[in-house]
Amino acid sequence: MAMQRIAVVTGANKGIGFGIMKELCKKFDGVVYLTARDEGRGHAAVDELAKLGLTARFHQLDIDNAGSISRFAEYIKKTYGGLDVLVNNAAIAYKNAATEPFGEQAENTIRVNFFGTLAVCHALFPLLRPHARVVTVSSSAGHLRRINGDEPAATALREKFASPSLTEEELCSLMKQFVEKAKDGTWKASGWPGSTYIASKVGVSALTRIQHRAFEADSRPDLVINDCHPGYVDTDMTSHKGTLTIEQGAACPAYLALLPPDIKEPRGQYLWHDKQVVDWVNGPTPAAY
């Protein structure tokens, strides 16, 4: 009996995650798992897909909960023995009008968007099968040039992130440093942007490059990871100010999830919503959201 191929999308009950689910349910040759923190919303989203004639399965997964992550990884391992596609989509963002102190916003945003994503990767990467595809949904906010300014602190920070030998451990230290500086009010003087979301997404984009190097050295053939800016999409996260539809936002992540075997590129790269590869370190970024 042929082995069932398995795809997983995190934070998939609404928005871009739900859009990615629609694409994968149509085009992926295998079982697609919709995961979400909230079981009720997750099941409702699977029912919504069923009304469109699409089949998905649900499993609870909260990327901010270590127990939830390990239960999910154990379930996939026991049930299927492996995984073929992982889309890291789950993330949070504070609104501009948020009243929580900057330090608190930094702690929560980095914990979920960066360390939560990293924890999911640590749990699921050992289960990736040969030719697996991993996609991390970043943002235009995740481009390195968003740590802007010519002052020495910002330049030094960009150089650290851009280093081709940056390790996961060093990156984790940088992310923790941002939270500390956000709490003690010295983030600007240290070269950091005044947006916790930018810091978190620059972090996951840098992480993608590190994970790509690890995949290149992995004994399993043709493991590919990329990250992308899905576009400025009309979702709850953008307070419905985005100009792109959810379908347009899902296009690039779904394309990366479905890259054919042994593709030469993109590998370890940062893509814009129109699927063009963008130089993550130097830019330029395409002007349009």
Q: Where in the sequence numbering do the catalytic residues fall?
A: 197
| 214 backbone dihedrals φ, ψ, rounded to 5° | -65, -40
Nearest to 138 by CA among 73, 203, 58: 203
Cα–Cα distance for residue pair 140/145, rounded to 1 Å: 10
DSSP state for residue 125 in the 8-state scheme: G
Cα–Cα distance for residue pair 131/193, rounded to 1 Å: 37
| 167 backbone dihedrals φ, ψ, rounded to 5° | -100, 165
Residue indicated by tokens 């789950």: 90
CA distances from 121 to 114, 118, 186 (A): 11, 5, 31
